[in-house]
Amino acid sequence: MFRKILIANRGEIAARVIKTARRMGIATVAVYSDADRHALHVRMADEAVAIGPAPAAQSYLVAEKIIEACRQTGADAVHPGYGFLSEREAFAEALAKAGITFIGPNLKAIAAMGDKIESKKLAKAAGVSTVPGFVGEISDEAHAKKIAAEIGFPVMVKASAGGGGKGLRIVQRESELAQAILSSRNEALASFGDARLLVEKFVSEPRHIEIQLIGDKHGNAIHLGERECSIQRRHQKVIEEAPSPFLDEKTREAMGAQAVALAKTVGYDSAGTVEFIVDGQKNFYFLEMNTRLQVEHPVTELITGLDLVELMIRSAAGEKLPLTQKDVKRNGWAIEARVYAEDPYRGFLPSTGRLSRYRPPPEGVDGGITVRNDTGVFEGGEISVYYDPMIAKLSTHAATRLEAIDAMAWALDRFELSGIAHNLQFLTAIMHNARFREGRLTTGFIAEEYPDGFRGAPLTGEDTRSFIAAAVAAKLLRTQRAGRITGAFNGGHHPADNFTVTLNGKNHAVTDAHLEVGSLYLVIDDAVLEGVVDWFPGRTALRLTVQGEDRLFQITREEGGYCLAQGGRERLVTVRAPVIARLADMMPAKPPPDTSRKLVCPMPGLVVALPVTEGQQVKMGEVLAVIEAMKMENVLVAERDVTISKLHAQKGGSLARDDIIMEFT
C-alpha cells in the first residue's frame, strides 16, 4: 500500500480523497494555486505545496509542477480527482516515467476511452450502439457545417477531452455553429488543454443515465449500477440519483453488461463511468466513457455501501477487487444536489465573494435517513472567479425515492448560506416539483419546467399565511428583546399588536398578534392562526410549527421587514404598523435606472472577446462580448439593432458584476 498520496486537484474532491486516505492510514499532500492558499483541502492535508498562479492553466494543469511537488514531498502515488489532469494520458505517462503511481486506469485504457473520438470508434467497432455523428475530430467550421448538414440539426459540438459540460454546445441552426465552435474550443483549451472537437446528432427528449464501473489489474471488472443524471442546466448536472426511476431490471442489466464488456475490451482497471443517452422507449446509446471518478459518485456509494476512492487506491496498489458482480447489492435510494455559487434569479449567473455564513445541515444517520455533505469550502472562505462554482454536494439516502427526496428538501431548508448568491431555493423547488417527484425526467427538464427562468416556487394560500406568521413572529420577538433592555419603556407586559403585512405586493391585515414563551397567536385577514415559534434575533433559521407541521425558514432582516426563504420560495415580507403602511403607500415609486442604452456585465469575469468597435452598427442577435467566469464562456448578444457609441471594456480586462461594458445609441 502507498505511504503518501498527492491529490492533484482542489476543492471538495481533494477533501474527499483526503478523508479516505486518512482512514486508510495514508499520508496526504495537497497542491494549491495562489487563489487557494487558504483553501480547505490545504488545511486538511498533512502537507501542502504551492504550484503557481490562480489560473488553472498555470497551476493545476501543469503536469511538471505536480510531479515536482511529488519529488519534494516523497509522494509515491497521485490521485487526480476529476477535471484538470484526471483524463490526460500524457500526465499518467509522465508520472510512470517518474516512478509515481497514477491512481486511475492504465495508459491504454485512458488512450482508448478517455478521448470521446477514439472511444466512440472503439465502441462502434465493438458493436455498441452509438449516437449518429462524425466519428473523428472536426477540422474547421466548414467541416462541421458539412457534418451537421448530413446528420441534421440540432447537433452537439463537444470537446473531445474532459467532461462536466465544459466545451459542449447544442446548436439548433447553422448560424449558431461558428460561435459554438469558438466557445467550445476556448473552454476545452482552458479546462483540459485540448481544443479538439467533435460533432454528433442531438437526441431529442433524452435521459442521461450512466453506469459506474470498477476494475482491477487482474482482469476483473464489475459495474455498481446506474445513476440518473438527467436534471442538467447547460449540460452541467444539477441533481443526480441512484438508481434511475426509469429503468427496468432488463434494461439495467443490459446497460451494465454492455459497459463491463466495453471496459474489459481495454483492460480497464480503476473507477470509470460509461455514459448513455436513453430515449423514451428505453433504447440506449453510448455517449462516452469518463476514465476517472465522477462528481456524483456519492449516490452510488450510499446505495452500495462501498467507498469508490478506496477501491481506486487499492486497485492502483495492485490489489484484487474485494467483490464480484453478484456481491453488489442495491440498498434504498440516494439523491445528490449540487450547491452552486450562482444566482438562479439572474439566469444562473455565477457569483463570487466571501462566505459570510456556511452552515450545512448536520451529517449522519437518523431514523433510517442519511445526510452527507461533500464540500471544499468553509465559513469565511472565498469563492473564486477562477474555478468551478460548486460549493458543496449534498446527498441523502433513504429506503424509497420519495423518502430520499423529502429528506433532501428537509436538508436544503436547513442549509445556511450567505455572502454570495446560491441555488439552494432552486434545488428545493425541484424537490417539491410534481414532475420530478413522479420521475418524469429528461435532460430538458429545467428548460421545460422553468422556460422563463427561475422565479421561485409559487405560494399557496397556506404558504402565504405561514410566511406572514413567520415575519410577524420575528417582529414581535425583536420588539420583546428591545423591551427587555434595562430602563426601556414597557419592559414587562407585551400587549397584542396590529400590523399591515405586505407580501407579493399585496397588503394583509394582521390583528391581535401576540407571542408568549414561543406560543404565537394572530389573526390574518380575519382568519386565526396559532403556532409555536423557535427563534432568537440573530439566528438565520426560524422554525414555525402550525397544526403539527414544521417549517424552517431562512431569515434575514431587511428594512421594514424580513427576507424569508423556505421550500423553494424566497420572499420579502414587510411588517409595519397600519399608519406607517398607509403613509408608505403614498410614497412615489422609485423607477429602476435605465440601462436600455448600456450593456452591463451580468457577472464577475474576464473579457475574452469584444468583437465590436465604437461607431459600429450591430444587428439583433450578433455577438457583443464574450465573458468567461468560472471556466465557462457567456456570450452576450444584441437584443435589438444598435450602434456602439462607447466602449468601456477591453479584451483581457476583468469586470465586476454590473460594470458597464459598452454604450449604445
**Catalytic (active-site) positions:** 288
- In the block, residue with C-alpha cell 400587549: 495
Residue 72 identity: Q
* Per-residue CA distances from 297 to 228, 289, 374, 486, 609 (Å): 12, 15, 11, 56, 36
- In the block, residue with C-alpha cell 421561485: 456
**Neighbouring C-alpha atoms within 13 Å toward the C-beta of 219:** 0
Find how far residue 655's CA is from the centre of its chain: 23
Report helix, strand or coil for 188. helix
Q: What is the DSSP string of 413-448?
A: HT-EEESS---HHHHHHHHH-HHHHHT---TTHHHH
Q: What is the DSSP string of 562-574?
A: EEEEETTEEEEEE
Q: 603-612 burial, b for 16+ CB within 10 Å, e for fewer? A: bbbbbbbbeb
d(CA 288, CA 128): 11
Angle of helix 177-192 relative to helix 141-151, nearest 10 degrees?
110
- Kindly state the DSSP code that residue 344 receives in the 8-state scheme: G
Residues facing 523 on adjacent strands: 511, 528
- Is residue 100 within 8 Å of 94, Cβ to Cβ? no
* DSSP H helices in 74-140: 89-97, 107-113, 116-125
Phi/psi of residue 153, each to 5°?
Answer: -80, 155
d(CA 529, CA 323): 57
* Per-residue CA distances from 135 to 146, 264, 587 (Å): 14, 22, 65
